[in-house]
Amino acid sequence: MDSEKHVLTMLVDNEPGVLSRVVGLFGGRGYNIESLCVAETVDPLISRITITTKANAPLCEQIEKQLRKLVNVIKVRDLSGNNAVKREMALICVRAKSADRAEIQRIVDIFRCKVVDVGPEFYIVEVTGDEDKINALINLLKPLGIKKIARTGMIALFREPR
């Protein structure tokens, strides 16, 4: 069976050690983590963890069940598919020689992202979007020289029924 990308989002108790229980489960059982995002929710006692992983269907079922078994994991949902909003943010530090600045600005406009820091040699570009959009932007900026990059990893929310 083919491995597919899954976006697992879970609500967990906002306590020390909970993240390491979740991450330890993945490490100990040989599951893969492609990206990981954690932050408090509107309830300060609860955090949301979003993990993207590659797994075939039975393995993903097993991962979800193993996660639910953790005493601090309140709810687990697989947000793969179109029924969820998925976003990622990246900060990209790109070389901005004066000859290239107009080109960078054009790309930034097309991608509806923004330049958030301007230096004599470099720009920092902030972009938000799904994974494909961010990858596309990175590919366009690469020839100009990307010095460093920080990506948040994916976060996702299930769309409420209309």
Partner 1 sequence: MELNGAQILMKTLQEEGVDTIFGFPGGAVIDIYHALVRTPIRHVLARHEQGAVHAADGYARASGKVGVCLVTSGPGATNTVTGIATAFADSIPLVVITGQVPTHLIGNDAFQEVDIVGITRPCTKHNYLVKNTEDLARCVKEAFFIARTGRPGPVLIDIPKNVASRIVAYQPPAKVRLRAYRPTYSPNPKQVQKAADLILAAQRPVIFAGGGVVLSGAAAELIELARANRIPVTASLMGLGAFPGTDPLWMGMIGMHGTFTANMSVAGCDLLIAVGVRFDDRVTGKTEAFAAQAHIVHIDIDPTSIRKNIPVEVPVVGDCRLTLKMLNEVLHAKGSNGGPSRDPWLGQIADWKCQRPLTYIKNHEIKPQYVVEKLYELTAGKALITTEVGQNQMWAAQFYAFDQPNQFISSGGLGTMGFGLPAAIGAQIACPDRLVVDVAGDGSIQMNIQELATAVENRLPIKVVILNNGYLGMVRQWQELFYDKCYACTGITHSPDFARLAEAYGAVGLRAERVEDVEPVLRQGLFSDRTVIMDFAVCREEGVYPMVPAGAPITEMLLV
- Per CB under 8 A, residues contacting partner 1 are 13, 16-17, 20-21, 24-25, 28, 58, 61-62, 65-66, 68-75
Cβ within 8 Å of residue 51, ≥6 positions away: 7, 8, 9, 10, 22, 26, 33, 35, 36, 37
Name which of 20 and 41 has its Cβ closer to partner 1: 20
Q: Which uninterrupted H or E stretch holds 123?
A: strand 122-129
Contact at 8 Å (CB) between 122 and 147?
yes
For the CB of residue 134, give the shortest distance to partner 1 in the complex, in Å. Answer: 33
DSSP secondary structure letters along 29-89: TT---SEEEEEE-SSTTEEEEEEEEEE-HHHHHHHHHHHHHSTTEEEEEE--SSSEEEEEE
CB of 15 to partner 1, least distance (A): 10
- Compute the least distance from the CB of residue 49 to partner 1, in Å: 13
Other C-beta atoms closer than 10 Å to the C-beta of 130 total 13
- Return the number of the residue (19 or 146) whose C-beta is nearest partner 1: 19
Q: How far is the CB of 46 from partner 1 (least distance, A)?
A: 9
Comparing CB distances to partner 1, the nearer of 66 and 80 is 66
Closer to partner 1 by CB, 3 or 20: give it.
20
Kindly tell me which of 23 and 89 has the beta carbon lying closer to partner 1.
23
- Cβ at position 66, least distance to partner 1 in Å: 5
